[in-house]
Amino acid sequence: MPAPREGVVTDRFARLALSCIHREYPNKISHLMNSAADTGTPSQLFPAFYGCFDWHSSVHGHWLLVRILNTDPDTPYRAAILSALSQSFTAGHIAGELAYFEAPDRASFERPYGTAWFLQLMTELRQADFPEAAGWVQTLLPLEGFIRAQTMDWLTKLAYPIRIGTHNQTAFAFGLMLDWADETGDTAFRDAVAAKALAFHAADVTCPLSYEPSGEDFLSPCLMEADLMRRVLAPSEYAVWLTGFLPQIPLSGDADWLTPGIVLDPSDGKLVHLDGVNLSRAWAMEGIASALPPEDARIPALLAAAAVHKQTGIAAVSDTHYSGSHWLASFATYLETRRGIGPE
């Protein structure tokens, strides 16, 4: 592989994704079997998204590579990335993925985390200007349409938010879904997700941030909710809502109101989630700050705490342990490239 360029932090993230999206083992599959005929290797079950240890990590590993092409078109990994994506994004592979989703009793497969990341991948492909992207959008369109319809049906049945700090959390997934709806112009989908967000969270106050993080979190329930609500409230409404929801944000500009999570064993696949919570907290705080009026006195404290979490989180991204390397690079890329916020 090419040598990394000085000052380009995303080069190492690209290398991590390239090393895992077609690495089949080790693999942790979430697989409902309807009969003995449903046995298979990961690549047989999931022909496009079998690498990176699990389905959702494979999906956001592919997203990472598209994001690198979009934000760093001169990357020395361009040829390798295009080759890898071409290997995954074939009509036959996506037909196999769709067949898996359509099988009986699999309505909850990768819902909402993995499916939201798939929509984020489609958002990235739609925003791309390299020539292969438009063709890949068409190739992936059948799976996108199925996930869209399935999600709309799920939203009609979802009675309560899912406030945990891991995969099933609804706040983070809703944020990615809204960004997809905005990119595609799907107002019906946006309205459905936004209505749920408002019904679930408009009256929330005094989120117990001091209870976070739990020992295996990679998403902050409080901060992800706040990052979601900036997408559905007008700026003036959002500033008022945030005052009631997170009164803990200081006006002093200090960073020590929120301490980064600690990982004592980075080889443990569950404990290493805390490296992810530092990265996702950082992008959430940057997102929250971006939605406040420029003169808002909370912005310095939000950005100060975000910087500390970013420094801690980025330093933890390495290829030493596959337990973290198969997914943390995606979180780091989301943060470093300001996905969901836009350029400074």
Interval 47-85: pLDDT, tens: 999 999 999 999 999 999 999 999 999 999 999 999 999
Q: What's the rounded mean pLDDT across residues 291-311?
A: 98
Q: How far is 313 from 275, CA to CA, in rounded Å?
A: 5
End-to-end Cα, the chain, rounded Å: 31
Q: How far is 288 from 251, CA to CA, in rounded Å?
A: 15
pLDDT above 90 covers a percentage of the chain that reads 96
Q: What's the rounded mean pLDDT across residues 320-337?
A: 97
Nearest of 265, 266, 209, 198 to residue 232 by alpha carbon: 198
pLDDT at 248: 97
pLDDT at 5 over 90: no
Q: How far is 120 from 261, CA to CA, in rounded Å?
A: 26
Helix (H) or strand (E) holding 229: helix 221-229
Q: Give the C-alpha distances (Å, rounded to integers) separating 126 from 137, 260, 296, 344.
A: 7, 34, 34, 22
Is the distance from CB of 314 to CB of 336 less than 8 angstroms? yes
Nearest of 117, 43, 133, 45 to residue 81 by alpha carbon: 133
Q: Where are the domains of the chain?
A: 7-111+132-149, 201-337
- Mapped onto helix, strand or coil, the DSSP state of residue 302 is helix
pLDDT at 8: 65
pTM of the model as a whole: 0.97
List, for residues 236-251, the tens digit of each pLDDT value.
Answer: 999 999 999 999 999 9
Phi, psi of 22 (to 5 degrees): -120, 20
pLDDT at 344: 62
Mean pLDDT of the chain: 96
Is the distance from CB of 10 to CB of 336 less than 8 angstroms? yes
- Mapped onto helix, strand or coil, the DSSP state of residue 75 is coil
List, for residues 204-241, the tens digit of each pLDDT value.
Answer: 999 999 999 999 999 999 999 999 999 999 999 999 99
Q: How far is 288 from 302, CA to CA, in rounded Å?
A: 8
List, for residues 130-141, the tens digit of each pLDDT value.
Answer: 999 999 999 999
Q: How far is 213 from 224, CA to CA, in rounded Å?
A: 12
Place of tokens 């909402």: 112
Token output for 145: 């349409």
Sign of CA dihedral 57, 268, 338, 172: positive
